[in-house]
Structure 1
Amino acid sequence: MTNDAPAQSSVPTSRRTRCSAYPLDPAKDEAIRAAVVQVLAEVGYSRLTMDEVAMTAGVGKAAIYRRWSSKADLLVSYIDMESVAGLVLADTGWLRDDLVILLTSIADLLAGPVGRANRALIGILHENPALFDAYRHGPLDRWSAAFTEVFRRAVERGDITPDAATSVAAEAGPGIIIQRWLITGAALDEELVRAVVEQVMIPLLRGATRPPSP
């Protein structure tokens, strides 16, 4: 069994405004990112300020403005970074195990401080086109790509049909996890993930669209 390590994340230079010719300290980058997560989770989007982020990060406000020109730029960069952090894409040779590992990594992310920070952003995404675009092309696209890869391997092994890989059955597992995270607030853990994969996803994917008999 081989598990690919989570992708190492960094704030892409294309997502932030460089305001200084001097090299930027990576340690301050990490401190600022951690502060964004903490402040968003604690006070929400409307009360998040550059001053509060700077104080929480233990840096001067100028250190933030050397990297990002506005609150919106900072949050767009955070969303882009967060979409990579913690995501685990494994190739175990088994559809069930690949799904459990991937969904568990997402559930762990949503259950922690990053999940609370993201919940604070969800309500304002449609009011801010830049944030909505960052979310759609960040977490949503990258998580979708991870599931697409898991299903692609399963199709190649003959576990499921190509139609099953693109059916609504493929969305059932993530849908349950997101509903619990965003609406009910129920616990997200590996036990839940295994139940979702084994009782919902696998039967739907294999039962309704079983590969034709030779």
Structure 2
Amino acid sequence: MGRPRDPSRDDAIKLAALRVLAEAGYCGLTMDAVAATAGVGKATIYRRWASKGDLLLSVIDDATADQLTRPDTGCLREDLLVLLNSLAEVLAGPSGRASRTLLGALHHEPTLAEVFRQGPLARWQEAFTEVIDRAVDRRELRPGTGVWMAAEAGPGMLLQRWAVTGQPLDSAVVTVVVDELLLPLLRRC
């Protein structure tokens, strides 16, 4: 039977995986490096996750699961500001740094790409759809508004700034994206 698993090690291992991923990149992420950083043996990791891919899937999904705020302020503009500021905070945090490292590997790692689609991207789409649906219910927008365009355009601008140009993400940038891109796009539809 052995001794029971210590759940605190799960968190230590996941944090170590994020740290190693951010510092060494996807190719440099090894179970040895994660074990050393977490202060556990490799066997401890393999009892929880069968492979590096399984560990990363768990880490990515957990790291982004509760970080994206689902606002309900009663106003479309305010909801969009809260939602995009929440995304900017996620990107600036530890899971954001790890995600930046993984972006280059997604094309070559279909399993990771699928986790991004089913995890962080699906959660973003759900949160954005909730915001739009509430705005339609409040008659701020017409039914049938192009949710997918706006749901991709707003974060797309932030992601390009974050991943490609390296320029800072702050509330001023979010406000410009909401006021000059998203609101005109949503109200045009």
Q: TM-score, normalised by structure 2?
A: 0.92
Deviates more, 1:192-201 or 1:141-150: 192-201
Q: Does the CA-based 8 Å contact 1:164-1:170 persist in structure 2?
A: no
For structure 2, which runs of at least 5 residues remain unmatched after alignment?
Answer: none
Deviation string 1:127-147 (CA, Å, 9 cap, x unpaired) is 122111111111111111110
| 1:190 matched to 2:171 | yes
- 3-state SS in 2 of match to 1:88: coil
Cα distance 1:168–1:23, how it changes in 2: closer, same or farther (>3 A)? same
1:147 equivalent in structure 2: 128
Q: Does the CA-based 8 Å contact 2:16-2:38 persist in structure 1?
A: yes
Q: CA deviation at 1:21?
A: 7.5
Deviates more, 1:151-160 or 1:21-30: 21-30
- 3-state SS in 2 of match to 1:124: helix
Q: Does the CA-based 8 Å contact 1:41-1:116 persist in structure 2?
A: yes
Aligned match for 2:158, one of 177, 185, 201 = 177
Cα distance 1:148–1:46, how it changes in 2: closer, same or farther (>3 A)? same
1:100 equivalent in structure 2: 81
Moved over 3 A (4+): 20-23
Q: Does the CA-based 8 Å contact 1:37-1:113 persist in structure 2?
A: yes
1:28 equivalent in structure 2: 9
Report the RMSD for the aligned CA atoms in angstroms. 1.7
| 1:43 matched to 2:42 | no
Q: TM-score, normalised by structure 1?
A: 0.82
Paired positions, count: 189
Cα distance 1:51–1:105, how it changes in 2: closer, same or farther (>3 A)? same
Q: Does the CA-based 8 Å contact 1:155-1:162 persist in structure 2?
A: yes
- 3-state SS in 2 of match to 1:92: coil
Structure 2: how far apart are the matches of 1:146 and 1:166? 11
For structure 1, which runs of at least 5 residues remain unmatched after alignment?
Answer: 1-19, 210-214
Structure 2: how far apart are the matches of 1:55 and 1:35? 9
Aligned match for 2:69, one of 88, 99, 119 = 88
Q: Which amino acid aligns with 2:183?
A: I
Structure 2: how far apart are the matches of 1:33 and 1:59? 12
Higher helix share: 2
Structure 2: how far apart are the matches of 1:170 and 1:49? 35
Deviation string 1:111-132 (CA, Å, 9 cap, x unpaired) is 2222121111111112122111
- 3-state SS in 1 of match to 2:145: helix
Q: Which amino acid aligns with 2:29?
A: L
Structure 2: how far apart are the matches of 1:87 and 1:33? 19
Identity within the alignment, %? 54
Q: Which amino acid aligns with 2:100?
A: R
1:78 equivalent in structure 2: 59
